[in-house]
Amino acid sequence: MNKAKRIYQHSLFPYFCMFLILFVYHYFIQITFGDEVDYFSKIVGQYSLGEFLSSQYYEWSSRLLIETVLIYVSYWNVWIWKTLNIAFYLLILYSFSYLFNFKNKRLKNWLIFVLVMLYPLLDMSTAGWIATTTNYLWPLVLGLYTFTAIKKYKDNIKIKWYEYILYFLAVLYAANSEQMNVVLLSILSFYIIFFLVNKKSAIFLWIMEALTVAELVFILTCPGNSVRAVAEIGRWMPDFHMLSFLDKVYLGFTDTINIFLSSSNYIFIIFCSILCFCVFIKTKNMWHHFISIIPLGIIFTHCFSEFTEKNNYLRQLSLSALPIDASNYFTHYLYVPLFIYVLLIGSILLSMLVIYDLTFDMLLNTFVLGVGLATRIIMGFSPTLYASNTRTLLFLYMAFIFCTIFMVYRFEEKFNNTNKNVFFIGTGIPLTISSINIIGIIINWKNV
């Protein structure tokens, strides 16, 4: 009994729980649809690797490294992919955990476990399980892992020789994804400037930055990307060329926020709840309290409109948000969703300012959220904004997870016994929701 209790109380127990849930979940996944079934699994044996890569480079995509992995993983036994995918999820937990020095490691790992498991896993099946995870999840995870190198530089921890190899390979794969390339370039540049200001050497960060820039140049000059864009405009958005720069930004922004305001977006709800909770801890100013409640008010108003026919005006406005141009700028109701979404972002930033003041923490969290939001808004410049579905939100989800963990990390010492009870109840509720979410998916696995 005592041994079981010690295992349960161990800081690594959340890793075991995550592995167990993911193992059961992956056990029921069947690879019966998607790009890997229709195309990639048939490449090996029919074409040489050189022929395949040449065809992709000139006719379709710059993701040559990612798609090399994809064709072999699709061809091999499905349990190779399942094992690797579970390992990548565990690497998310490890990487986030390494980035934060909580005094209570068990609390930290449980918090990360809850947040990661609340991510809608079905989003990683929208183009087929193997194709979506290798193109989105794996680059994200490897990019997140490279950020542990920044932490080691910041804390003066020596990087072992084999870690240099692992970081190099991680950047090589992660930067081959357009969205993750933007994230890597932004975060690495941010910390290179930080280390320059603090007169601290960061040679390896410069090397990773150079590798990321080289891959970005490769992406921008790849002829296959242009060919693919033309094909997808005809297939998904024939009037794409008629959209202006601001139209594309508007569509990317409104579509992103509208999805995050849905009733099932538990990560965003938890982020806003903890943000509000931290503001109430930090200050007694009623105006600050009011501002911190605004995001939750918008979320619940938006969610309420999903479940009633009489009060769905806001919901319909959000779903039918059109680009504002010379033909409709005088139609006032079109500005309502934009006003609400700007109010949402503004209240979040002001609440973060209350929590962190004008400090490096405020700058870092704002930058991370900004980069995460940019990775989805930039999809407005692609004709596959809607066709790509919710899988392109992955990077923004992880940005919110990072900022949520950061808030708890900064206020860990401020929780007295009463606050701890409130906090554990607050995290226990989403944990229950997470479990129900996973169980519900497993029960309906035949429909996946």
Specify if 257 maps to a domain. yes
Q: Tell whether 214 and 270 lie within a shared domain.
A: no
Specify if 51 maps to a domain. yes
Residue 42: the pLDDT is 80
Residue 448: the pLDDT is 46
Given 156, 188, 221, which residue is the final one in a domain? 221
Residue 311: the pLDDT is 47
Specify if 227 maps to a domain. no
Radius of gyration of the chain (CA): 22
Q: Tell whether 23 and 63 lie within a shared domain.
A: yes
Tell me the residue range of the domain where 295 lies.
239-414
Total domains in the chain come to 2
Given 221, 255, 270, which residue is the final one in a domain? 221
Specify if 160 maps to a domain. yes
Q: Tell whether 144 and 293 lie within a shared domain.
A: no
Q: Tell whether 161 and 279 lie within a shared domain.
A: no
Specify if 375 maps to a domain. yes
Q: Tell whether 11 and 51 lie within a shared domain.
A: yes
- Please tell me the pTM assigned to this model: 0.90
Closest CA to 178 of 219, 210, 209: 219
pLDDT beneath 70: ranges in the chain: 1, 4-5, 35-38, 262-264, 303-334, 414-448
Q: Tell whether 164 and 301 lie within a shared domain.
A: no
Residue 310: the pLDDT is 47
Cα dihedral 66, 30, 82, 40 in deg (nearest 10):
-20
Specify if 405 maps to a domain. yes
Specify if 81 maps to a domain. yes
Specify if 175 maps to a domain. yes
Q: Tell whether 91 and 179 lie within a shared domain.
A: yes
Question: In angstroms, rounded to a whole number, what is the distance separating the alpha carbons of residues 376 and 416?
Answer: 38
* Residues whose CB is less than 8 angstroms from the CB of residue 242 and which lie 6 or more positions away in sequence, other chains included: none
Given 152, 186, 221, which residue is the final one in a domain? 221
Q: Tell whether 94 and 160 lie within a shared domain.
A: yes
Q: Tell whether 215 and 243 lie within a shared domain.
A: no
Closest CA to 274 of 395, 106, 101, 419: 419
Tens of pLDDT, residue by residue over 260-273, are 876 567 889 889 98
Residue 103: the pLDDT is 83
Q: Tell whether 194 and 254 lie within a shared domain.
A: no
Residue 328: the pLDDT is 58
Q: Tell whether 315 and 343 lie within a shared domain.
A: yes
Question: In angstroms, rounded to a whole number, what is the distance separating the alpha carbons of residues 146 and 140?
Answer: 10
Residue 136: the pLDDT is 94
